[in-house]
Amino acid sequence: MPKNLKATLDKSSSAYAVAGDRSLLRRMNLLALLERIMDGPQTITQLADSTGLSRTAVDAIIDDLVPLGWAVVIDPEPRIGAGRPARAFRFRAEVGCVVGLDIGPHKIEVQISDLAGRALFETRTEVDESLGAAERLSVAVALVHSALAGAGVSLGKVWITAVGTPGVVQGGVVQHILEMVGWQGLDLASALEDALGCYVVVENDVNLAVLAEHWLGVAKEATSVVYVLVGNRTGASIMTGGQLFRGFAGGAGELGALPELGWLHSQENLSGVVVDGRELNRAEIFQSAVEGAPPAVDAVDRFSNAIATGVAAYVLALDPEVVVVGGGVSAAGKIFLEPLERHVWERTITRPEIRLSTLADRSVTLGAVRLALDVVQGRLAAAVTGGSAFPAPSAELVRATAK
């Protein structure tokens, strides 16, 4: 279910002003039914059961949603020897789409999704970390066009593109980043808007990862989450009350910048590990640790201890329900998780559950899709509660709603 659809109704009552004959209760019922059919096709009976509304009330609301283009009737398949099956209704998710884009030091990834969040097409390409800003942007734009072609949709159907990138992001401008050449101070939102011709929002990649975990990952039911990215670099993001916490200038969660935490050099613990006369790479170190090779076991323990100091700092400061560890290390499984838990809990008062991400390296792209959907659903909520027809994918309308 879209998590922020009802929340947008509370942001500004003036944004949802409707004719006097539409009560607040009526508007909330419209939203309730819209949420249900966004989850998948529903019959009148199913909608009544899930919302607590009467069948008569559901019928009346559906009579509004279908002519306005919000819902589509699914004619039932005929059955022999039984009564006529009930009609179902679905959300018109196919009338528009969103783009989730992950632009990182080593890869660029795109997912095209419909307005219900279903993936239509996804693709990625590896890039060299020495690539300049102009070249990296060119690759990203070309990949978006390729993905749209693969999805069979035109750029004119894109409501919004959401982008994840390393660095602190302020107003679409990337700050405080060392990994990507020419990225410091880049107005990424404006550059991509000019190139793609649609509204663009930009967010820190680790911030998007926690949105993905809350949407599709191992933190679905949690409202207080710390997400720790452990890969070529280590960073973190924070969710409180089910919402991303960015801080005043977008820099919340950047504790890893403190040298005292040890995150800046934690990867050094996985260097120079020799087993049977051969130096191992990171994947081989974890595998050798599983097999019980002492040098590998010791290296993983040192590495998890270095990560645990920062994790413990977050736990002591925020007392989260769940700590999610993502990035490349999440594939290591218990051989990394168990020593990490031990070293964290040695330092903390409470013991939140620590879970490894199951989204692999797709969390940033999925989080970008989730962010894009949240913005679009604000526009949809404004339109449906005002009794308007399904709005066109206007960049100006989406931008105005997002502010």
pTM of the entire predicted model: 0.86
Number of domains in the chain: 3
Give the alpha-carbon dihedral of 292, 297, 301, 307, to 10 degrees: -100
- d(C-alpha 45, C-alpha 291), whole Å: 55
Q: What is the pLDDT of residue 231?
A: 83
Q: Tell me 272's DSSP state.
A: S
If asked whether residues 49 and 174 sit together in one domain, one would say no
In this structure, the answer to whether residues 28 and 117 fall within a common structural domain is no
Confidence band for 392, pLDDT divided at 50, 70 and 90: low
Give the closest residue to 160 by CA, choosing from 123, 206, 113, 93: 113
Same domain, 351 and 224: yes
Helix %, strand %, coil % for the chain, to 5?
Answer: 45, 20, 35
Percent of the chain with pLDDT over 70: 87
29-83 pLDDT per residue, tens: 888 888 889 888 999 999 999 999 999 999 988 887 888 788 899 877 665 555 5
| Residue 25 covered by a domain | yes
Map residue 72 onto helix, strand or coil: strand
Of 232 and 307, the structure prediction assigns the larger pLDDT to 307
183-199 pLDDT, tens digit each: 999 999 999 999 999 99
CA 312 to each of CA 48, 226, 263, 305: distance values in angstroms, whole numbers, following the listed order: 46, 11, 12, 10
DSSP classification of residue 352: -
For residues 190 and 227, membership in a common domain is answered with no
On whether both 108 and 196 belong to a single domain, the answer is yes
On whether both 281 and 336 belong to a single domain, the answer is: yes
Cα→Cα distances 18→14, 22, 27, 76, 364, Å:
9, 7, 9, 35, 37
What CATH number has the domain bearing residue 266?
3.30.420.40
Who contacts 12 (Cβ-Cβ below 8 Å, separation ≥6)?
none
Q: What is the mean pLDDT of the chain?
A: 87
- Sign of the torsion angle spanned by Cα atoms 369, 374, 378, 381: positive
Give the three-state DSSP class for 145. helix
Going by pLDDT thresholds of 50, 70 and 90, the confidence category of residue 23 is low
SS3 at position 276: coil
CA distance 354 to 363: 17
| Residue 39 and residue 151 in one domain | no
Measured CA distances, 153 to 113, 184, 210, 289, 335 (Å): 10, 33, 28, 47, 44
Instruction: Determine the pLDDT at residue 271.
Output: 93
Structure token pair of residue 219: 């933190």
CATH code of the domain covering residue 14: 1.10.10.10
- Residues of the domain holding 51: 5-91
| Residue 59 within a domain | yes
Residue 212 within a domain: no
Q: What is the pLDDT of residue 399?
A: 56
114 and 158 fall within a common domain: yes
List of residues 6+ apart from 265 with CB closer than 8 A = 306
